[in-house]
Amino acid sequence: MAPFLLYEDKGAHASTSVPLVLIHGHPFDRTMWAPQVAAFSPDRRVIAPDLRGYGESPVVPGLTPLATFAEDIAALLDDLGVREFALAGLSMGGQIVMECYRQFPERVRALVLADTFPAAETPAGQKSRNDMADRLLREGMRPYADEVLHRMVAPYAHPDVAAHVHRMMTATSPEGAAAALRGRAERPDYRELLTRVTVPTLVVVGEDDEYTPVADAQAMHAAIPGSDLRIVPRSAHMPNLEQPEQFNAALAALLRRL
């Protein structure tokens, strides 16, 4: 049985607009979507869960495949009575979104793939992720958070944004983060799946993202029929927090297509 996920569920449940489901990245939690929840909940239902191992959701040590995260989301939405939805994810959350589309495409009305990439992990990448999992279990989250903060958000990001991102990273369970890293090391290749996407799709990326560069987003955009591409200036790996107005404008344009 899937663990009970903690989640935000805001907005008018009776709205005729398609609900929006937001999937956070690693090593974050549902609060990374605060600007989007605030912007879109006045007009539609917005659901933002903490993934297992993150935020306030239960920690399940070991190895958590992307397929398990997707199954958790489906179970949560079943419990909430949400049959169809627009689905957005950033970084690892974007890979979980792709896995959701692989498992239950009939439920997904639109996709947002933010600062993510679809290829399977390389052997070197597998070793790196497993080594990082070992490091987090050994050292905890703070040394890693200090090291990568200004790759997650640009050095010129607003200090409040950087502080929020740092808090999320240091509050994450090392066991949950390690389990997700080991699962991502074994993820499938979603590139062929993207060529079969039939719903409105937004690909968005920060202009200065080092983890998932603009070239990755351009390749996804080229692969997904009819997709839109938005490159967000003056942002790195988390444009939804670094430049929320621009991110929200792109997301709103996608939702209008529904």
Tens digits of per-residue pLDDT, 126-160? 999 999 999 999 999 999 999 999 999 999 999 99
Cα distances (Å, whole numbers) of residue 178 to 35, 59, 111, 129: 27, 11, 27, 9
Global confidence as pTM: 0.97
Q: Is 119 left (phi over 0), alpha (psi -120 to 50) or beta?
A: beta
2 near 72, Cβ under 8 Å? Answer: yes
The confidence score (pLDDT) of residue 1 equals 47
Q: What is the mean pLDDT of residues 83-100?
A: 98
- Cα separation, 57 vs 8, in Å, equals 12
At residue 254, does pLDDT exceed 50? yes
Residues paired with residue 47 on neighbouring β-strands, in sequence order: 9, 21
Q: What is the mean pLDDT of residues 29-45?
A: 97
Q: What is the mean pLDDT of residues 100-129?
A: 97
At residue 50, does pLDDT exceed 80? yes
At residue 4, does pLDDT exceed 90? no
42 near 107, Cβ under 8 Å? Answer: no
Summary mean pLDDT of the chain: 96
User: Which tokens sit at 112?
Assistant: 């947002």
The confidence score (pLDDT) of residue 215 equals 98
109 near 86, Cβ under 8 Å? Answer: yes
Q: What is the mean pLDDT of residues 14-24?
A: 94
At residue 202, does pLDDT exceed 70? yes
